[in-house]
Structure 1
Amino acid sequence: MVQPDDLTVEHLTNTPSLLAPYNKPHRRHLHSWLYSKVRTYLEGGNPDTILLLGIRGVGKTTLLAQLYFEAMREVGPNGVLYLSLDRLRALGMELLEVIDAYKRLVRPEKAILLLDEVQYERDWDLKIKLLHDERRFFIIATGSSAIKLRESPDLARRALHRELFPMTFREYHHLRTGLELPELTGRIMRGDEISMPPIMVDVETYVRAGAMPLALEMEEWEVYERLTAMLDRVVYRDLREVHEFDAETLDRAFDLLHLLAAPKGERFSYERLSKTLGLAKGTVMKLVDALEKAGLVQRIPACGPPAKAVRKSPKIKFLAVPIKSALLFGSGFNLNRKEVFASLLEDVVAFYLFLLSKSRNGRLCYEPGRGGADFVLELNRERVVVEVGLGKVRKNQVERSMERLGAERGIVLGERYEISERVAFYPWKAFVAGF
């Protein structure tokens, strides 16, 4: 059996070669904030604990690898300890055993702990709280989006929390080319005139696959293969962080994902999903809840008072749109077919609106019923109707939705550019490229 002292020495020696493949040249936008926290600590600041959450494949391990090599240049290889908690679990070892060995062998004055996939450690939140309370370490711990459900209130009060989401187009384009694009989303949501960005071929590639970092380094079909394989771990490991599902129910989660990914998947109500899958409605609702808490999808409620909206099934949109593409690709769909691509585009728009509502404490909903608005974004008590259409969307159709919903503005994302007082039409590529 491996002893904690032996593992610690081996880890300190071998971590550079272990993390080298993850030390990518491209830096996610969140990297600069994390690195500034590390630098502040190394320059005499107080030790922090940061929980970095996100779906698998979004780049959490890459961020830790980049921070590891940057910090190592400041404090040397013994001043940074990277631990993969799934590996510790496989070796039958516990986190605190290894940390105690590290303190005894190295006796660091200023140390940085990088803890990857903490959900594999039993009572992870209690152990990180104990380490935090020692005030000897700067800690960055990563985990699936679902682990915050199991986090103790004590740690929640102590730790800083950041979620790493899939990339927007501007981040994707910057990491691919090194070029910055202007931010247009604010002007578009206000219905202002814009300078059209250059039309880039990779906007369409982004809609299909570009939101996940894998797209920066491999062919599109390889991205889909990797994401399909990754879904196994999300379903059979991460969903269990949310609810205690049995193996048969988890098997049906894949069928549910395929139904939701279908071009007309948003039209499925909980009742129809229950009937199609042969599962109780309550079980379907729990599965969708688990998929949302694991960071795969978002549920967009119907507009209206909560008591009325809860009676309507939500729209269910993929947050990581390349996972939807992978499911469709694996089922034989042509992703460039107009109906299929339009479905992917609508999920990208929903993802952008999700980020806007989250960052500005807003609310996102949809208007149920035939002819209802695709999305309604409420920010600062002002409502904006958002329609997505590669076909024709008429101005009077949008105005009727605005009247029903009491909205101040209407935005149509399609093929044309036309600004009027209350309804503005923008090319969808400008909207995607501007966020």
Structure 2
Amino acid sequence: KLSRFLPLRDIVLLTGLRRVGKTTIIKQLVEELLQEVKPELIFYVSLDAYGLEKHSIHEIVTRYRTIHRLGLDQKIYVFLDEIAFKEDFQRELKDFYDNENMKICASASSASILRDKKAYLTGRTRTIEILPLDFEEFLVFRNAKIKTADAYLLENYFMEYMQTGGLPEYVLTGDIVYLSELVDSILYKDIIAFHNIKDPAIVKDFFRLLMERAGKIITLNKMAKILGISLDTVRRYMEYFKETYMVYTVERCGKLNQRLRTGKKLYAGDVGLRNMATGFRDRGAVFENMVYLKIKQHNPCYIYEDGNEIDFFFKDTLMEVKFREKLKDKELRLFEKIPAKEKIIVSEWQEYMKLR
């Protein structure tokens, strides 16, 4: 799907959770290009490679043009993996965009790094977030060729998907050590080291608390009391985790004062990470988390009224998630009361698969 952006002049920035598949997608784009473009006009480089730390992106790309005798007017396709390893990349990309015939596609694993404080890239980029595998992609990775009639097999795979989540390498290997090391890598590289945090243990506790609260309304004051840290620290840490795509938050629907008075709902960036931290329990919360990731692109909010809650509202669609349960009487009355063009109750994997 991303290949449609290649003819456009915009710089394509791929973001998302670490190991979600950004590098694989970039290499797939390169493979597609090779069917139409000469190999020497395609340059892929991982900027975290040993030996490149002292060289600017401009030096690296200029060296490539020189080796292949490509003038600045010759269009080349440049794929820059892990662009966050270059501190001044926004200015360098702007210079390329303004002065060279070049299509650029880059990747990064932290939204904070992509912040363009000096607005170098304003109007020049198209940012695309890569999410973990959805269930259909999970089936492809598991090489599951199932006929529609074999519903029981699909259900078995779906329960497996609920437990493993959608990080590609973990889906392929099932290696829990890999998942644990991935979490450590994100915590230390993208949060503790990047933000110069002096107490790593608090960050680990913060992660576990977030995973336990996935699918629930959170209040920052309560989190501060549980962890014994200040409210300002909780606010900062929450932003750090959101910037690394470990968690997402959903606001309450309504006026500003209603949104400010009520906590946000929290969801894990991948249910496999959540299950690793908490164990595979509270399947209702896991299922709701999966539904959120499926509809995330619609920017849903949640409805809260008189102590009752409806999980999602977006584009005149009301949606309640109840894994293999029915709505309670009060929930049903609220669900029927709220006006919406479409009302959906998601309680089984078949309904999940219909979501778009």
CA distance, structure 2, for counterparts of residue 317 and residue 181 of structure 1: 32
Aligned-partner residue type, residue 350 of structure 1 = Y
Give the 3-state SS of the residue equivalent to 2:304 in structure 1.
coil
Conserved in 1, the CA contact under 8 Å of 2:211 and 2:277? yes
Q: Which of 230, 246, 257 is the equivalent residue of 2:197?
A: 246
Deviation per CA, 1:98-119: give whole Å up to 9, x if none: 1121222212333211100111
Change (3 A) 1:181 1:349: farther
Change (3 A) 1:346 1:48: closer
Partner of 1:28: none
| 1:341 aligns to 2:283 (yes or no) | yes
Q: Which of 255, 260, 265 is the equivalent residue of 1:310?
A: 260
Give the 3-state SS of the residue equivalent to 2:128 in structure 1.
strand
Aligned-partner residue type, residue 285 of structure 2 = S
- Taking only the aligned residue pairs, the percentage that are identical comes to 21
Deviation per CA, 1:373-393: give whole Å up to 9, x if none: 2413131xx251413243443
Partner of 2:352: 432
CA distance, structure 1, for counterparts of residue 141 and residue 241 of structure 2: 28
Conserved in 2, the CA contact under 8 Å of 1:88 and 1:95? no
Within a 5 Å distance, the mapping from 1:337-416 to structure 2 comes to: 339-355=281-297, 357-358=298-299, 363-367=300-304, 370=307, 372-379=308-315, 382-394=316-328, 396-402=329-335, 405-407=338-340, 410-414=343-347
Deviation per CA, 1:362-383: give whole Å up to 9, x if none: x32242664x22413131xx25
Aligned-partner residue type, residue 302 of structure 2 = C
Change (3 A) 1:180 1:96: farther
Partner of 2:54: 92
Aligned-partner residue type, residue 81 of structure 2 = D
Change (3 A) 1:410 1:136: closer
Change (3 A) 1:397 1:385: farther
Conserved in 2, the CA contact under 8 Å of 1:174 and 1:180? no
Within a 5 Å distance, the mapping from 1:250-289 to structure 2 comes to: 250-262=200-212, 266=216, 268-289=218-239
Change (3 A) 1:322 1:153: same
Give the 3-state SS of the residue equivalent to 2:334 in structure 1.
helix
| 1:113 aligns to 2:91 (yes or no) | no
CA distance, structure 2, for counterparts of residue 283 and residue 366 of structure 1: 28
Deviation at 1:59, TM superposition (A): 0.4
Give the 3-state SS of the residue equivalent to 2:49 in structure 1.
helix
CA distance, structure 2, for counterparts of residue 37 and residue 409 of structure 1: 32
Deviation at 1:154, TM superposition (A): 3.3
CA distance, structure 2, for counterparts of residue 100 and residue 400 of structure 1: 65
CA distance, structure 2, for counterparts of residue 134 and residue 267 of structure 1: 49
Partner of 1:227: 179
CA distance, structure 2, for counterparts of residue 173 and residue 144 of structure 1: 25
Aligned length: 349
Conserved in 2, the CA contact under 8 Å of 1:52 and 1:164? yes
CA distance, structure 2, for counterparts of residue 226 and residue 368 of structure 1: 42
Deviation at 1:48, TM superposition (A): 4.2
Aligned-partner residue type, residue 241 of structure 2 = L
Deviation at 1:93, TM superposition (A): 2.1
Give the 3-state SS of the residue equivalent to 1:86 in structure 2.
coil
Normalised to the residue count of structure 2, the TM-score between the two structures is: 0.86
Partner of 2:123: 157
Aligned-partner residue type, residue 57 of structure 1 = R
Conserved in 2, the CA contact under 8 Å of 1:61 and 1:116? yes
Q: Which of 193, 198, 220 is the equivalent residue of 2:151?
A: 198
Partner of 2:163: 208
Q: Which of 96, 106, 131 is the equivalent residue of 1:131?
A: 96
Aligned-partner residue type, residue 251 of structure 2 = P
Aligned-partner residue type, residue 345 of structure 2 = V
Deviation at 1:246, TM superposition (A): 2.1
CA distance, structure 1, for counterparts of residue 180 and residue 344 of structure 2: 34
CA distance, structure 2, for counterparts of residue 181 and residue 104 of structure 1: 54
Deviation per CA, 1:81-100: give whole Å up to 9, x if none: 21111226764222111112
CA distance, structure 1, for counterparts of residue 93 and residue 291 of structure 2: 37
CA distance, structure 2, for counterparts of residue 366 and residue 299 of structure 1: 14
| 1:218 aligns to 2:183 (yes or no) | no
In the alignment, structure 1 segments of 5+ residues that lack a partner are 1-31, 41-45, 183-195, 415-427
Deviation at 1:143, TM superposition (A): 0.8
Normalised to the residue count of structure 1, the TM-score between the two structures is: 0.71
| 1:71 aligns to 2:71 (yes or no) | no
Conserved in 1, the CA contact under 8 Å of 2:319 and 2:346? no
Give the 3-state SS of the residue equivalent to 1:247 in structure 2.
coil
Change (3 A) 1:367 1:179: farther
Deviation at 1:161, TM superposition (A): 2.0
Aligned-partner residue type, residue 309 of structure 2 = A
Conserved in 1, the CA contact under 8 Å of 2:214 and 2:268? no
Whichever structure has more helix as a proportion of its residues is 1
CA distance, structure 1, for counterparts of residue 244 and residue 214 of structure 2: 23
Partner of 1:170: 136
Aligned-partner residue type, residue 283 of structure 2 = F
Aligned-partner residue type, residue 213 of structure 1 = P
CA distance, structure 1, for counterparts of residue 237 and residue 206 of structure 2: 8
Deviation at 1:167, TM superposition (A): 2.1
In the alignment, structure 2 segments of 5+ residues that lack a partner are none
Conserved in 2, the CA contact under 8 Å of 1:72 and 1:79? no
CA distance, structure 1, for counterparts of residue 236 and residue 84 of structure 2: 20
Change (3 A) 1:311 1:94: same
Q: Indicate the RMSD between aligned Cα atoms, in angstroms.
A: 3.0
Change (3 A) 1:115 1:366: same
